């Protein structure tokens, strides 16, 4: 048996030590538990993981697991340009977009940081031009609205970041359309003025079906207002396919490319981040990059017990593989951060939702969990009942800022109290005896109190992590996104999967392309799904 497998066995045996463990008792026995099981970065970001079913022995075993899997070595190989994405024969260098590789690194014959800097200079010049009115619409007037057309990483990343940083917007208003459902773009266009709108078409290949269908619809909308000859002046391409971009009618100087080593779900740091730059300005976008760069350095150098991404990753492995928890709930207590769980769904589930290891063999244990969640306090009135009293244990990540960004102070204090209360109840619960005593104190009759007490008892002992940060600024958001990127990377290395391909996404696209002609033709084909009978009947009514 390999050393790695021995460690998994040791962790399984170690779990038996928790048969009588409860967080109530752990905190009562160790008043310094928070100090021992928390880590801080730069005096403004704290990970409190004290409310987990762990001891020092747990952390020792998990650290050995990450060491044996070679997490640090894998990160160094990634930073050196090694093609970690073996199924697509690509390097993985989104970290280079924020400056976290050697200045002399050369990949595919190109000095990486030099190439990144050149594209970024063009992006920043363009963003400044639009924001200060030097780059105008076809009538010579400023653009006041940006419409980003993309899907997957070309939508989820920039949309989440733009929405989250709404308190810092001082540029054009930004809208996002992703779904091929025509209602999405129609509903959006109804609210916009085509003469004042700049459209960003975000597709590396410039062939993504959903995006290009929406791009053609947007072009027709623009052309109806400004004329076909001038329509191209209202478009920008975030792509690497010059021929297709020019065929669409977008000038080369309105095209901003990126590289094969930038995966879609890691692309918000690249030209795909242009809507963010337009909304908050290049200077704040630099702060966003700087936050991520700082997290890169922290991940690469900090020891395990103070390394935030490694701790989150290790705890995730503990619950996924030792406690058989199939999902993780993510609750940002900030309404502007409401898109974060959806962003993490792609980052985590598209990266590590794999059943095949890098060497082609099957995974040896469960890999990527289901990621879900919602902004607090909305989630409290939707699914927290299940988290508190349901039959499944669901590890939870809570995120909240100490200070709000342009929000009422009292309301933020209420938000903080709500967040901390949920964490406390999940950890410590309420025994049936305590529930009974409280009901009797309220004057309830003994028999009625005894009947009701079981329903008002909470088991507690449910694990949570809390990320507490000073304020949700561009720099802090960069830190947090990079933190989760490195968490996902770490878990992928331990599971032995390629976290940077997504073949499961491609198969659905292929089949959709095969079925489309039958749907368009409306004729029965011998091998088409039987449900097409019903579909055609409904369409003919």
Torsion of CA 206, 209, 212, 216, to 10 degrees: 150
3-69+302-428+463-495 matches 94-285 in fold: yes
Rounded mean pLDDT of 133-148? 98
Nearest to 347 by CA among 493, 500, 477, 495: 500
> Does 3-69+302-428+463-495 carry CATH code 3.40.50.10490?
yes
Percent of the chain with pLDDT over 90: 91
| Integer Cα distance of 177 and 535 in angstroms | 27
* Rounded Cα distance, 339 and 153, in Å: 13
**Residue 512's pLDDT band (cuts 50, 70, 90):** confident
**Which residue out of 40, 73, 509, 533 is catalytically annotated?**
509
CA atoms within 13 A on the CB side of 462: 27
E strands within 139-258? 145-149, 173-177, 197-202, 235-238, 255-256
Cβ neighbours of residue 156 under 8 Å, at least 6 residues apart?
Answer: 265, 339, 342, 343, 346
d(CA 341, CA 155): 14
pLDDT in tens, 8-42: 999 999 999 999 999 999 999 999 999 999 999 99
CB 69 within 8 A of CB 58: no
Q: List all residues 6 or more positions away from 173 whose beta carbon is below 8 Å from its beta carbon.
A: 144, 145, 146
User: For residue 534, what pLDDT is reported?
Assistant: 79
pLDDT in tens, 421-470: 999 999 999 999 999 999 999 999 999 999 999 999 999 999 999 999 99
Q: What is the mean pLDDT of residues 309-315?
A: 99
The pLDDT of residue 526 is above 70: no
Average pLDDT of 486-507? 95
pLDDT digits (tens, 9 = 90+) for 372-411: 999 999 999 999 999 999 999 999 999 999 999 877 889 9
Query: Is 509 one of the annotated active-site residues of the chain?
Result: yes
Domain residue spans in the chain?
3-69+302-428+463-495, 94-285, 429-460, 506-540
Mean pLDDT rounded to a whole number for the chain: 96
Point out which residues pair with 465 in neighbouring strands: 397
Q: What integer is the mean pLDDT of 496-513? A: 88
Q: Positive or negative CA dihedral for 387, 388, 394, 400? A: positive
Q: Give the separation between CA 450 and CA 455, rounded to whole angstroms.
A: 10
- Least Cα distance to 294 among 483, 533, 12, 57 occurs for 483
For the chain, give percent helix, strand, coil, nearest 5.
55, 10, 30
Q: How many angstroms separate the first and last alpha carbons of the chain?
A: 65
**Confidence band (pLDDT; 50, 70, 90) for 520?**
confident
pLDDT confidence bin for 527, thresholds 50/70/90: low
pLDDT in tens, 219-233: 999 999 999 999 999
Please state the rounded mean pLDDT for residues 491-497: 98
Catalytic choice (283, 381, 413, 506):
381
CA-CA distance, 453 to 433, in Å (whole number)? 8
Q: State how far the Cα of 444 lies from the Cα of 345, in Å rounded to an integer.
A: 46
Query: What SS3 class is residue 376?
Result: coil
Burial class (CB in 10 A: 0-12, 13-18, 19+), 344: buried
381 is catalytic: yes
Ranges 34-38, 183-187, 346-350, 537-541: which has the least confidence: 537-541
The pLDDT of residue 523:
56
Cα–Cα nearest to 47, from 477, 317, 398: 398
- Tell me which residue has tokens 């940081």: 113
Mean per-residue pLDDT for 49-78? Answer: 98
Q: What is the pLDDT of residue 1?
A: 55
* Bridge partner residues of 322 (DSSP): none
Helix segments in 132-208, DSSP class H: 153-164, 182-189
Structure tokens at 387: 């988290």
pTM above 0.85, yes or no: yes
CATH architecture assignment, domain 94-285: 3-Layer(aba) Sandwich (3.40)
> How far apart are the C-alpha atoms of 5 and 8, rounded to whole Å?
5
- To the query of whether residue 234 is one of the catalytic residues in this protein, the response is no
- Residue of 350, 354, 475, 487 with catalytic role: 350
């Amino acid at each position: 048996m390999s050393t790695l497998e021995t460690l998994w066995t040791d962790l399984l045996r170690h779990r038996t030590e928790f048969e009588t463990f409860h967080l109530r008792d752990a905190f009562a026995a160790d008043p310094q538990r928070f100090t021992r099981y928390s880590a801080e970065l730069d005096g403004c970001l704290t990970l409190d993981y004290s409310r987990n079913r762990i001891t020092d022995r747990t952390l020792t075993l998990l650290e050995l697991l990450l060491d044996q899997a070679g997490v640090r070595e894998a990160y160094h190989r990634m930073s050196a340009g090694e093609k970690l994405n073996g199924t697509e024969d690509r390097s993985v260098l989104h970290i280079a977009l924020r400056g976290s590789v050697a200045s002399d690194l050369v990949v595919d014959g190109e000095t990486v940081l030099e190439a990144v800097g050149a594209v970024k200079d063009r992006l920043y010049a363009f963003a400044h031009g639009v924001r200060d009115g030097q780059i105008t619409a076809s009538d010579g007037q400023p653009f006041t609205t940006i419409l980003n057309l993309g899907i997957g990483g070309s939508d989820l990343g920039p949309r989440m970041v733009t929405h989250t940083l709404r308190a810092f917007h001082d540029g054009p208003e930004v809208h996002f359309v992703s779904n091929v459902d025509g209602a999405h773009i129609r509903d959006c266009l109804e609210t916009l003025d085509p003469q004042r709108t700049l459209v960003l078409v975000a597709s590396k290949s410039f062939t993504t079906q959903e995006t290009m269908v929406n791009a053609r619809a947007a072009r027709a909308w623009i052309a109806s207002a400004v004329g076909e000859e001038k329509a191209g002046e209202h478009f920008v391409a975030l792509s690497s396919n010059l021929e297709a971009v020019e065929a669409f009618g977008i000038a080369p100087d309105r095209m901003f490319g990126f590289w094969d080593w930038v995966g879609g779900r890691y692309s918000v740091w690249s030209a795909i981040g242009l809507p963010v730059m337009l909304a908050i300005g290049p200077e704040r976008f630099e702060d966003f990059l700087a936050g991520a760069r700082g997290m890169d350095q922290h991940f690469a150098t900090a020891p395990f017990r103070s390394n935030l991404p490694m701790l989150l990753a290790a705890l995730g492995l503990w619950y996924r593989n030792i406690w058989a928890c199939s999902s993780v709930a993510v609750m940002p207590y900030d309404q502007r951060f409401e898109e974060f769980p959806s962003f993490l769904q792609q980052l985590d589930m598209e990266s590590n939702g794999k059943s095949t290891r890098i060497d082609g063999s099957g995974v040896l244990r469960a890999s990527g969990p289901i990621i879900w969640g919602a902004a607090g306090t909305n989630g409290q009135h939707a699914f927290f009942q299940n988290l508190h009293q349901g039959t499944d244990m669901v590890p939870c990540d809570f995120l909240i800022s100490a200070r709000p960004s342009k929000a009422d102070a009292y309301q933020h204090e209420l938000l903080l109290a709500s967040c901390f209360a949920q964490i406390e109840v999940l950890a410590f619960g309420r025994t049936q005896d305590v529930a009974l005593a409280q009901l009797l104190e309220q004057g309830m009759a003994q028999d009625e109190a005894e009947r009701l007490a079981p329903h008002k008892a909470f088991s507690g002992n449910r694990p949570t992590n809390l990320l507490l940060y000073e304020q949700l600024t561009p720099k802090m958001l960069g830190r947090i996104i990079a933190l989760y990127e490195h968490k996902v990377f770490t878990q992928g290395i331990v599971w032995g999967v390629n976290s940077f391909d997504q073949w499961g996404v491609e198969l659905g696209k292929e089949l959709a392309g095969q079925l489309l002609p039958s749907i368009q033709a409306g004729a029965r084909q011998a091998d088409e799904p039987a449900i097409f009978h019903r579909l055609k009947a409904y369409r003919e009514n």
